[in-house]
Structure 1
Amino acid sequence: MTPAEILDSLFPAGHAVTAEGDLLFGRGTSPDGRVVHVIGATARAPIGIDQAIRLSAAVLAIARSDDGAPILFFVDSASQRMSRRDELLGLSEYLAHLAKSLLLAEARGHRTIGLLYGGSAAGAFIATALACDTLVALPGAHPEVMDLASMARVTKLSIDLLEDKAKTTPVFAPGLDNLVSVGGVAEIWDPQRSLADQLATLLATPRDHDARATLGAERQGRPKAAAIADEVDMAARR
Protein backbone atom coordinates (compact mmCIF):
# COMPACT_ATOMS: atom_id res chain seq x y z
CA MET A 1 0.00 0.00 0.00
CA THR A 2 1.12 3.55 -0.69
CA PRO A 3 0.99 6.25 1.99
CA ALA A 4 -2.03 7.77 0.24
CA GLU A 5 -3.89 4.45 0.27
CA ILE A 6 -3.02 3.88 3.93
CA LEU A 7 -4.24 7.35 4.88
CA ASP A 8 -7.50 6.85 2.98
CA SER A 9 -8.15 3.58 4.81
CA LEU A 10 -7.26 5.07 8.19
CA PHE A 11 -9.23 8.29 7.73
CA PRO A 12 -12.09 7.72 5.25
CA ALA A 13 -13.59 11.13 6.03
CA GLY A 14 -10.34 12.87 5.08
CA HIS A 15 -7.18 14.07 6.74
CA ALA A 16 -4.75 16.97 6.91
CA VAL A 17 -1.50 15.10 6.33
CA THR A 18 0.99 16.70 3.96
CA ALA A 19 4.42 15.78 2.64
CA GLU A 20 7.64 17.68 3.19
CA GLY A 21 10.01 15.95 0.83
CA ASP A 22 10.11 12.36 2.04
CA LEU A 23 8.56 13.19 5.43
CA LEU A 24 4.89 13.31 6.46
CA PHE A 25 3.24 15.59 9.01
CA GLY A 26 -0.33 16.30 10.01
CA ARG A 27 -3.34 14.71 11.60
CA GLY A 28 -6.46 12.79 10.79
CA THR A 29 -9.74 12.01 12.49
CA SER A 30 -10.83 8.40 12.80
CA PRO A 31 -14.43 7.32 12.14
CA ASP A 32 -15.08 7.30 15.90
CA GLY A 33 -13.99 10.94 16.17
CA ARG A 34 -10.53 10.34 17.61
CA VAL A 35 -7.77 12.73 16.51
CA VAL A 36 -4.57 10.97 15.46
CA HIS A 37 -1.27 12.77 14.89
CA VAL A 38 0.63 11.48 11.86
CA ILE A 39 4.34 11.74 11.11
CA GLY A 40 6.31 9.65 8.69
CA ALA A 41 9.56 8.76 6.96
CA THR A 42 8.72 7.50 3.48
CA ALA A 43 9.98 6.53 0.02
CA ARG A 44 12.83 4.32 1.29
CA ALA A 45 14.85 7.49 1.87
CA PRO A 46 17.70 7.44 4.41
CA ILE A 47 17.31 9.38 7.64
CA GLY A 48 20.06 11.91 8.22
CA ILE A 49 20.44 14.71 10.72
CA ASP A 50 18.05 17.01 8.83
CA GLN A 51 15.26 14.47 8.77
CA ALA A 52 15.86 13.36 12.37
CA ILE A 53 15.74 16.87 13.81
CA ARG A 54 12.62 17.77 11.80
CA LEU A 55 10.82 14.64 12.97
CA SER A 56 11.95 15.27 16.54
CA ALA A 57 10.60 18.81 16.44
CA ALA A 58 7.21 17.54 15.31
CA VAL A 59 7.11 14.92 18.06
CA LEU A 60 8.12 17.44 20.73
CA ALA A 61 5.43 19.86 19.56
CA ILE A 62 2.88 17.08 20.03
CA ALA A 63 4.36 16.19 23.42
CA ARG A 64 3.89 19.80 24.55
CA SER A 65 0.20 19.68 23.66
CA ASP A 66 -2.35 18.36 26.12
CA ASP A 67 -4.74 16.69 23.68
CA GLY A 68 -3.53 13.18 24.57
CA ALA A 69 -3.94 12.12 20.95
CA PRO A 70 -1.88 9.16 19.73
CA ILE A 71 1.00 9.48 17.28
CA LEU A 72 1.02 7.19 14.25
CA PHE A 73 4.50 7.00 12.72
CA PHE A 74 4.60 5.78 9.10
CA VAL A 75 7.92 4.06 8.35
CA ASP A 76 9.40 3.14 4.98
CA SER A 77 13.02 4.21 5.07
CA ALA A 78 16.50 3.08 4.21
CA SER A 79 19.03 3.01 7.01
CA GLN A 80 20.52 6.16 8.50
CA ARG A 81 22.36 8.45 6.06
CA MET A 82 26.03 7.67 6.63
CA SER A 83 27.53 10.62 4.80
CA ARG A 84 30.62 12.39 6.11
CA ARG A 85 28.55 15.48 6.93
CA ASP A 86 25.96 13.54 8.91
CA GLU A 87 28.56 11.53 10.81
CA LEU A 88 30.74 14.55 11.65
CA LEU A 89 27.73 16.51 12.91
CA GLY A 90 26.74 13.73 15.29
CA LEU A 91 24.20 11.56 13.49
CA SER A 92 23.98 9.11 16.39
CA GLU A 93 22.98 11.92 18.75
CA TYR A 94 20.27 13.12 16.36
CA LEU A 95 18.84 9.62 16.11
CA ALA A 96 18.97 9.23 19.88
CA HIS A 97 17.19 12.57 20.23
CA LEU A 98 14.40 11.35 17.94
CA ALA A 99 14.00 8.12 19.90
CA LYS A 100 13.94 10.00 23.22
CA SER A 101 11.39 12.47 21.83
CA LEU A 102 9.05 9.56 21.11
CA LEU A 103 9.59 8.19 24.62
CA LEU A 104 8.82 11.63 26.08
CA ALA A 105 5.60 11.91 24.06
CA GLU A 106 4.54 8.49 25.32
CA ALA A 107 5.30 9.49 28.91
CA ARG A 108 3.15 12.60 28.47
CA GLY A 109 0.11 10.63 27.41
CA HIS A 110 0.46 10.35 23.64
CA ARG A 111 0.49 6.71 22.69
CA THR A 112 3.09 6.10 19.98
CA ILE A 113 2.42 3.54 17.26
CA GLY A 114 4.84 2.71 14.48
CA LEU A 115 3.32 1.56 11.18
CA LEU A 116 5.94 -0.26 9.13
CA TYR A 117 4.67 -0.54 5.57
CA GLY A 118 7.97 -0.79 3.69
CA GLY A 119 11.61 -1.13 4.59
CA SER A 120 13.81 0.19 7.35
CA ALA A 121 17.18 -0.76 8.73
CA ALA A 122 19.80 -0.20 11.38
CA GLY A 123 19.80 3.04 13.38
CA ALA A 124 16.98 4.57 11.36
CA PHE A 125 14.76 1.59 12.22
CA ILE A 126 15.69 1.71 15.91
CA ALA A 127 15.06 5.47 16.22
CA THR A 128 11.68 5.39 14.46
CA ALA A 129 9.65 2.18 14.36
CA LEU A 130 11.27 0.43 17.31
CA ALA A 131 11.25 3.58 19.46
CA CYS A 132 7.45 3.62 19.33
CA ASP A 133 5.56 1.98 22.16
CA THR A 134 3.78 -0.39 19.77
CA LEU A 135 4.87 -1.47 16.30
CA VAL A 136 2.49 -2.85 13.70
CA ALA A 137 3.23 -3.74 10.10
CA LEU A 138 1.60 -4.38 6.77
CA PRO A 139 2.36 -7.50 4.72
CA GLY A 140 5.42 -7.02 2.56
CA ALA A 141 7.29 -4.85 5.05
CA HIS A 142 10.95 -5.81 5.25
CA PRO A 143 12.78 -4.55 8.34
CA GLU A 144 16.42 -5.23 9.17
CA VAL A 145 17.95 -4.29 12.49
CA MET A 146 21.24 -5.43 10.95
CA ASP A 147 21.80 -7.44 7.80
CA LEU A 148 23.86 -10.59 8.08
CA ALA A 149 26.84 -9.17 6.18
CA SER A 150 27.08 -6.26 8.62
CA MET A 151 26.56 -8.61 11.55
CA ALA A 152 29.46 -10.74 10.32
CA ARG A 153 31.75 -7.71 10.21
CA VAL A 154 30.79 -6.63 13.73
CA THR A 155 30.82 -10.04 15.43
CA LYS A 156 33.72 -11.52 13.41
CA LEU A 157 31.58 -14.62 12.90
CA SER A 158 31.48 -16.11 9.43
CA ILE A 159 28.56 -15.29 7.18
CA ASP A 160 27.99 -19.05 6.74
CA LEU A 161 27.62 -19.50 10.50
CA LEU A 162 25.22 -16.57 10.77
CA GLU A 163 23.14 -17.81 7.85
CA ASP A 164 22.91 -21.20 9.54
CA LYS A 165 21.85 -19.64 12.86
CA ALA A 166 19.32 -17.43 11.10
CA LYS A 167 17.44 -20.53 9.96
CA THR A 168 16.52 -21.47 13.54
CA THR A 169 17.14 -18.36 15.65
CA PRO A 170 14.97 -15.36 14.74
CA VAL A 171 17.19 -12.82 16.52
CA PHE A 172 19.88 -13.48 13.91
CA ALA A 173 17.57 -13.10 10.94
CA PRO A 174 16.17 -10.05 9.14
CA GLY A 175 12.64 -9.85 7.82
CA LEU A 176 9.10 -9.29 9.02
CA ASP A 177 8.29 -12.83 10.13
CA ASN A 178 11.35 -12.95 12.36
CA LEU A 179 10.59 -9.57 13.92
CA VAL A 180 7.07 -10.79 14.69
CA SER A 181 8.50 -13.96 16.23
CA VAL A 182 10.75 -12.07 18.66
CA GLY A 183 7.90 -9.74 19.65
CA GLY A 184 9.19 -6.60 17.97
CA VAL A 185 6.06 -6.35 15.82
CA ALA A 186 2.85 -6.64 17.81
CA GLU A 187 0.47 -7.17 14.89
CA ILE A 188 0.40 -7.53 11.12
CA TRP A 189 -2.58 -5.59 9.84
CA ASP A 190 -4.78 -6.91 7.05
CA PRO A 191 -4.80 -4.45 4.12
CA GLN A 192 -8.07 -5.96 2.87
CA ARG A 193 -9.84 -4.74 6.01
CA SER A 194 -10.39 -1.22 7.25
CA LEU A 195 -7.17 0.08 8.77
CA ALA A 196 -9.29 2.51 10.78
CA ASP A 197 -11.03 -0.43 12.48
CA GLN A 198 -7.73 -2.17 13.19
CA LEU A 199 -6.26 1.02 14.66
CA ALA A 200 -9.35 1.52 16.83
CA THR A 201 -9.05 -2.04 18.16
CA LEU A 202 -5.38 -1.50 18.97
CA LEU A 203 -6.03 1.79 20.76
CA ALA A 204 -8.84 0.20 22.77
CA THR A 205 -6.42 -2.38 24.17
CA PRO A 206 -4.94 -1.25 27.51
CA ARG A 207 -1.21 -0.67 27.36
CA ASP A 208 0.50 -0.46 30.74
CA HIS A 209 3.88 -2.04 30.04
CA ASP A 210 6.28 -3.00 27.27
CA ALA A 211 4.99 -6.38 26.12
CA ARG A 212 7.63 -7.14 23.50
CA ALA A 213 9.62 -9.59 25.61
CA THR A 214 6.41 -11.35 26.68
CA LEU A 215 5.28 -11.63 23.06
CA GLY A 216 8.69 -13.01 22.12
CA ALA A 217 8.35 -15.72 24.76
CA GLU A 218 4.80 -16.60 23.72
CA ARG A 219 5.84 -16.84 20.07
CA GLN A 220 8.99 -18.85 20.91
CA GLY A 221 11.22 -16.40 19.08
CA ARG A 222 12.87 -14.91 22.17
CA PRO A 223 12.24 -17.37 24.99
CA LYS A 224 14.59 -15.99 27.67
CA ALA A 225 14.20 -12.19 27.71
CA ALA A 226 10.92 -11.92 29.64
CA ALA A 227 11.95 -14.41 32.34
CA ILE A 228 15.31 -12.72 32.86
CA ALA A 229 13.70 -9.28 33.00
CA ASP A 230 11.24 -10.53 35.62
CA GLU A 231 14.09 -11.92 37.73
CA VAL A 232 15.97 -8.62 37.54
CA ASP A 233 12.82 -6.70 38.45
CA MET A 234 12.14 -8.92 41.47
CA ALA A 235 15.75 -8.62 42.63
CA ALA A 236 15.60 -4.84 42.35
CA ARG A 237 12.47 -4.73 44.52
CA ARG A 238 13.94 -6.75 47.39
Structure 2
Amino acid sequence: MDWKNLATSLFPDGHNIIERDQFLSGSGQVGGETVTVIGTTGHAAIGVEIALLQAQEVLATVRAHPQRAIVILVDTQGQRLRHRDEMLGINSYMAHLAKCLDLARRQGHRIVGLVYDQALSGGFITSGLMADACYALPEATIRVMGLPAMARITKVPEERLTELAKSNPVFAPGAANYLRMGGIEEIWHDDLAQRLMQAIRQADPQDKRSAAGLQRGGRSMAFKVTQAVADHADTP
Protein backbone atom coordinates (compact mmCIF):
# COMPACT_ATOMS: atom_id res chain seq x y z
CA MET A 1 0.00 0.00 0.00
CA ASP A 2 1.22 3.51 -0.82
CA TRP A 3 2.14 5.37 2.37
CA LYS A 4 -0.16 8.30 1.54
CA ASN A 5 -3.19 6.03 1.19
CA LEU A 6 -2.12 4.24 4.36
CA ALA A 7 -1.89 7.53 6.28
CA THR A 8 -5.34 8.54 5.10
CA SER A 9 -6.75 5.22 6.33
CA LEU A 10 -4.93 5.31 9.66
CA PHE A 11 -5.62 8.97 10.43
CA PRO A 12 -9.02 9.96 8.98
CA ASP A 13 -9.12 12.88 11.46
CA GLY A 14 -5.97 14.33 9.91
CA HIS A 15 -2.18 14.10 9.81
CA ASN A 16 0.84 16.13 8.71
CA ILE A 17 3.18 13.29 7.73
CA ILE A 18 5.79 14.17 5.11
CA GLU A 19 8.38 12.16 3.17
CA ARG A 20 12.01 13.20 2.83
CA ASP A 21 14.26 10.79 0.93
CA GLN A 22 12.21 7.72 1.98
CA PHE A 23 12.00 8.91 5.59
CA LEU A 24 8.52 9.55 7.03
CA SER A 25 7.87 11.89 9.94
CA GLY A 26 5.06 13.94 11.38
CA SER A 27 2.02 13.43 13.56
CA GLY A 28 -1.53 12.14 13.27
CA GLN A 29 -4.82 12.26 15.12
CA VAL A 30 -6.00 9.02 16.71
CA GLY A 31 -9.10 8.84 18.89
CA GLY A 32 -8.82 12.48 19.87
CA GLU A 33 -5.12 12.40 20.69
CA THR A 34 -2.00 13.34 18.74
CA VAL A 35 0.62 10.68 18.04
CA THR A 36 4.12 10.97 16.62
CA VAL A 37 4.68 9.10 13.37
CA ILE A 38 8.04 7.95 12.04
CA GLY A 39 8.86 5.41 9.38
CA THR A 40 10.20 4.59 5.96
CA THR A 41 8.86 4.02 2.48
CA GLY A 42 10.00 2.82 -0.93
CA HIS A 43 11.66 -0.30 0.51
CA ALA A 44 14.18 2.04 2.12
CA ALA A 45 17.63 0.73 2.91
CA ILE A 46 18.45 1.94 6.41
CA GLY A 47 21.73 3.80 6.31
CA VAL A 48 23.28 6.03 8.94
CA GLU A 49 21.15 9.01 7.82
CA ILE A 50 17.72 7.44 8.20
CA ALA A 51 18.66 5.65 11.42
CA LEU A 52 19.81 8.95 12.91
CA LEU A 53 16.73 10.86 11.66
CA GLN A 54 14.40 8.32 13.25
CA ALA A 55 16.31 8.47 16.52
CA GLN A 56 16.18 12.29 16.48
CA GLU A 57 12.39 12.27 16.03
CA VAL A 58 11.98 9.84 18.93
CA LEU A 59 14.15 11.96 21.23
CA ALA A 60 12.35 15.14 20.14
CA THR A 61 9.04 13.52 21.11
CA VAL A 62 10.41 12.45 24.50
CA ARG A 63 11.61 16.00 25.18
CA ALA A 64 8.66 17.99 23.85
CA HIS A 65 5.67 15.66 24.22
CA PRO A 66 5.89 13.51 27.37
CA GLN A 67 4.14 10.15 27.07
CA ARG A 68 2.83 10.85 23.56
CA ALA A 69 2.32 7.60 21.64
CA ILE A 70 4.72 6.79 18.78
CA VAL A 71 3.66 4.96 15.63
CA ILE A 72 6.33 3.34 13.43
CA LEU A 73 5.41 2.66 9.78
CA VAL A 74 7.71 -0.01 8.38
CA ASP A 75 8.78 -0.51 4.77
CA THR A 76 12.45 -1.43 4.58
CA GLN A 77 14.78 -3.80 2.79
CA GLY A 78 17.06 -3.82 5.84
CA GLN A 79 20.31 -2.06 6.58
CA ARG A 80 22.15 -0.41 3.69
CA LEU A 81 24.99 -2.63 2.51
CA ARG A 82 27.60 -0.04 1.59
CA HIS A 83 31.23 0.23 2.57
CA ARG A 84 30.65 3.83 3.67
CA ASP A 85 27.90 2.86 6.12
CA GLU A 86 29.95 0.00 7.50
CA MET A 87 32.96 2.26 8.02
CA LEU A 88 30.79 4.86 9.77
CA GLY A 89 29.43 2.15 12.08
CA ILE A 90 25.89 1.50 10.84
CA ASN A 91 25.49 -1.07 13.61
CA SER A 92 26.03 1.66 16.20
CA TYR A 93 23.52 3.99 14.53
CA MET A 94 20.89 1.27 14.46
CA ALA A 95 21.64 0.34 18.06
CA HIS A 96 21.24 4.03 18.93
CA LEU A 97 17.78 4.02 17.35
CA ALA A 98 16.81 0.92 19.35
CA LYS A 99 18.07 2.53 22.56
CA CYS A 100 16.09 5.70 21.86
CA LEU A 101 12.91 3.68 21.43
CA ASP A 102 13.65 1.82 24.66
CA LEU A 103 14.20 5.15 26.42
CA ALA A 104 10.85 6.40 25.12
CA ARG A 105 9.12 3.26 26.42
CA ARG A 106 10.73 3.70 29.85
CA GLN A 107 9.46 7.29 29.88
CA GLY A 108 5.88 6.11 29.36
CA HIS A 109 5.51 6.45 25.59
CA ARG A 110 3.36 3.72 24.02
CA ILE A 111 4.99 2.45 20.82
CA VAL A 112 3.12 0.66 18.01
CA GLY A 113 4.69 -0.67 14.82
CA LEU A 114 2.93 -1.46 11.54
CA VAL A 115 4.52 -3.32 8.63
CA TYR A 116 2.58 -2.05 5.63
CA ASP A 117 4.86 -3.27 2.84
CA GLN A 118 8.25 -4.89 3.41
CA ALA A 119 10.26 -5.62 6.56
CA LEU A 120 13.67 -7.24 6.38
CA SER A 121 16.68 -7.76 8.54
CA GLY A 122 18.13 -5.14 10.88
CA GLY A 123 15.92 -2.39 9.51
CA PHE A 124 12.95 -4.26 10.99
CA ILE A 125 14.65 -5.42 14.18
CA THR A 126 15.49 -1.87 15.27
CA SER A 127 12.12 -0.37 14.32
CA GLY A 128 8.93 -2.46 14.26
CA LEU A 129 10.28 -5.17 16.52
CA MET A 130 11.29 -2.54 19.09
CA ALA A 131 7.66 -1.47 19.49
CA ASP A 132 5.45 -2.58 22.38
CA ALA A 133 3.56 -4.52 19.72
CA CYS A 134 4.01 -4.79 15.96
CA TYR A 135 1.18 -5.38 13.50
CA ALA A 136 1.06 -6.04 9.77
CA LEU A 137 -1.15 -5.70 6.74
CA PRO A 138 -2.06 -8.99 4.99
CA GLU A 139 0.13 -8.29 1.94
CA ALA A 140 3.22 -7.40 3.98
CA THR A 141 6.48 -9.20 3.24
CA ILE A 142 8.41 -10.01 6.41
CA ARG A 143 11.60 -11.96 6.83
CA VAL A 144 14.89 -11.63 8.64
CA MET A 145 16.88 -13.48 6.02
CA GLY A 146 15.95 -14.94 2.64
CA LEU A 147 16.38 -18.68 2.20
CA PRO A 148 19.22 -18.36 -0.37
CA ALA A 149 21.20 -16.18 2.05
CA MET A 150 20.31 -18.49 4.94
CA ALA A 151 21.62 -21.45 2.96
CA ARG A 152 24.94 -19.69 2.34
CA ILE A 153 25.35 -18.78 6.02
CA THR A 154 24.22 -22.06 7.59
CA LYS A 155 25.60 -24.37 4.86
CA VAL A 156 22.23 -26.14 4.83
CA PRO A 157 21.05 -26.78 1.24
CA GLU A 158 18.38 -24.33 0.08
CA GLU A 159 16.14 -27.24 -0.95
CA ARG A 160 16.20 -28.53 2.65
CA LEU A 161 15.40 -25.06 4.02
CA THR A 162 12.52 -24.74 1.55
CA GLU A 163 11.14 -28.04 2.79
CA LEU A 164 11.52 -26.97 6.44
CA ALA A 165 9.75 -23.68 5.70
CA LYS A 166 6.59 -25.57 4.77
CA SER A 167 6.04 -26.67 8.37
CA ASN A 168 8.27 -24.43 10.50
CA PRO A 169 7.50 -20.67 10.58
CA VAL A 170 11.03 -19.88 11.75
CA PHE A 171 12.28 -20.62 8.24
CA ALA A 172 9.35 -19.14 6.33
CA PRO A 173 8.69 -15.51 5.38
CA GLY A 174 5.33 -13.74 5.54
CA ALA A 175 3.10 -11.98 8.06
CA ALA A 176 1.19 -15.18 8.93
CA ASN A 177 4.37 -16.97 9.98
CA TYR A 178 5.54 -14.04 12.10
CA LEU A 179 2.10 -14.01 13.70
CA ARG A 180 2.57 -17.66 14.68
CA MET A 181 6.01 -16.90 16.13
CA GLY A 182 4.69 -13.99 18.18
CA GLY A 183 6.71 -11.33 16.35
CA ILE A 184 3.49 -9.88 14.95
CA GLU A 185 0.62 -9.28 17.34
CA GLU A 186 -2.14 -9.23 14.72
CA ILE A 187 -2.79 -8.87 11.00
CA TRP A 188 -5.08 -5.95 10.20
CA HIS A 189 -7.64 -6.68 7.48
CA ASP A 190 -10.05 -3.77 7.86
CA ASP A 191 -10.83 -0.41 9.56
CA LEU A 192 -7.19 0.54 10.06
CA ALA A 193 -8.03 3.65 12.08
CA GLN A 194 -10.00 1.63 14.63
CA ARG A 195 -7.30 -1.04 14.76
CA LEU A 196 -4.62 1.56 15.41
CA MET A 197 -6.63 3.21 18.16
CA GLN A 198 -7.12 -0.14 19.89
CA ALA A 199 -3.44 -1.02 19.48
CA ILE A 200 -2.33 2.22 21.14
CA ARG A 201 -4.75 1.76 24.01
CA GLN A 202 -3.65 -1.85 24.55
CA ALA A 203 0.09 -1.20 24.20
CA ASP A 204 1.98 -3.04 26.94
CA PRO A 205 5.69 -2.40 27.60
CA GLN A 206 6.15 -5.98 28.84
CA ASP A 207 7.55 -8.21 26.09
CA LYS A 208 5.18 -11.16 25.61
CA ARG A 209 6.33 -12.32 22.17
CA SER A 210 7.99 -15.56 23.22
CA ALA A 211 4.92 -16.53 25.27
CA ALA A 212 2.68 -15.72 22.30
CA GLY A 213 4.89 -17.80 20.02
CA LEU A 214 4.54 -20.80 22.33
CA GLN A 215 0.78 -20.36 22.61
CA ARG A 216 0.36 -20.10 18.82
CA GLY A 217 2.59 -23.07 18.07
CA GLY A 218 5.25 -21.12 16.22
CA ARG A 219 8.09 -21.21 18.76
CA SER A 220 8.28 -24.17 21.09
CA MET A 221 11.39 -23.37 23.14
CA ALA A 222 11.97 -19.60 23.35
CA PHE A 223 9.63 -18.95 26.28
CA LYS A 224 10.77 -22.05 28.17
CA VAL A 225 14.43 -21.10 27.80
CA THR A 226 13.92 -17.48 28.87
CA GLN A 227 11.91 -18.61 31.90
CA ALA A 228 14.60 -21.13 32.85
CA VAL A 229 17.28 -18.41 32.61
CA ALA A 230 15.15 -16.00 34.65
CA ASP A 231 14.48 -18.62 37.32
CA HIS A 232 18.18 -19.44 37.52
CA ALA A 233 19.07 -15.76 37.84
CA ASP A 234 16.68 -15.41 40.78
CA THR A 235 18.22 -18.37 42.58
CA PRO A 236 20.67 -17.31 45.35
Tell me by how many angstroms 1:146 deviates: 0.7
Equivalence map 1:103-122=2 (5 Å): 103-122=102-121
Which residue of structure 2 lines up, in the alignment, with residue 232 of structure 1? Answer: 229
TM-score normalised to structure 2 length: 0.94
Contact 2:115 2:137 in 1 (8 A): yes
What residue identity is the alignment partner of 1:174?
P
Q: What's the RMSD between the two structures over aligned residues?
A: 1.4
Cα displacement (A) at 1:144: 1.2
Q: Any conservation in 1 of the 2:112–2:200 contact (CA below 8 Å)?
A: no
Instruction: Output one character per residue of 1:107-149: Cα deviation in whole Å (capped at 9) or x when no partner.
Output: 1111111110001211112111112221001110001101111
The separation in 2 between residues aligned to 1:14 and 1:88, in whole angstroms, is 41
Match of 1:199 in 2: 196
Q: Which amino acid aligns with 1:15?
A: H
CA deviation after TM superposition for structure 1 residue 235, in Å: 2.1
Residue 204 of structure 1 aligns to a residue in which SS? Answer: helix
1:209 is matched with which residue: 201, 206, 210?
Answer: 206
Deviation at 1:63, TM superposition (A): 2.2
The equivalent residue for 2:18 is 18
Identity %: 40
Q: Could you tell me how far apart the structure 1 residues matched to 2:151 and 2:98 are?
A: 26
Residues 169-217 of structure 1: CA deviation (Å, up to 9, x unaligned) = 1111222111111000001112x32x22111222222625111011101
* Residues 138-168 of structure 1: per-residue CA shift (max 9 Å, x gap): 1100011011111112112221221121111
Q: Secondary structure of the equivalent of 1:118?
A: strand
Alignment deviations for residues 13-56 of structure 1 (CA, whole Å, 9 cap, x no partner): 211211112111111112x3111110011111211111111111
Unaligned runs of 5+ in 2: none
- Helix, strand or coil at the partner of 1:173: coil
SS of the residue corresponding to residue 5 of structure 2 reads helix
Give the superposition deviation at 1:66: 4.5
In the other structure, the counterpart of 2:81 is: 82
Does the 8 A contact of 2:69 with 2:110 survive in 1? Answer: yes
Deviations 1:77-109 (A, max 9, x none): 112111111111111111111111111111111
Matched with 2:38 is 39
Aligned counterparts of 1:128 and 1:67: Cα–Cα separation in 2:
20
Q: For the structure 1 residues 208 and 47, does the alpha-carbon distance in structure 2 shift closer, same or farther, using more than 3 Å as the test?
A: closer
1:71 corresponds in structure 2 to 70
Aligned residues: 235
Match of 1:39, SS state, is strand
Q: Distance in 2 between matches of 1:152 and 1:60?
A: 39
Q: Which amino acid in 1 is paired with 2:24?
A: L
Cα distance in 2 between the residues matched to 1:205 and 1:120: 23
**Given residue 136 of structure 2, which amino acid in structure 1 is its aligned partner?**
A
Distance in 1, matches of 2:39 and 2:157, equals: 36
Task: Find 2:215's aligned residue among 205, 214, 218.
Answer: 218
Distance in 1 separating the partners of 2:150 and 2:117: 22
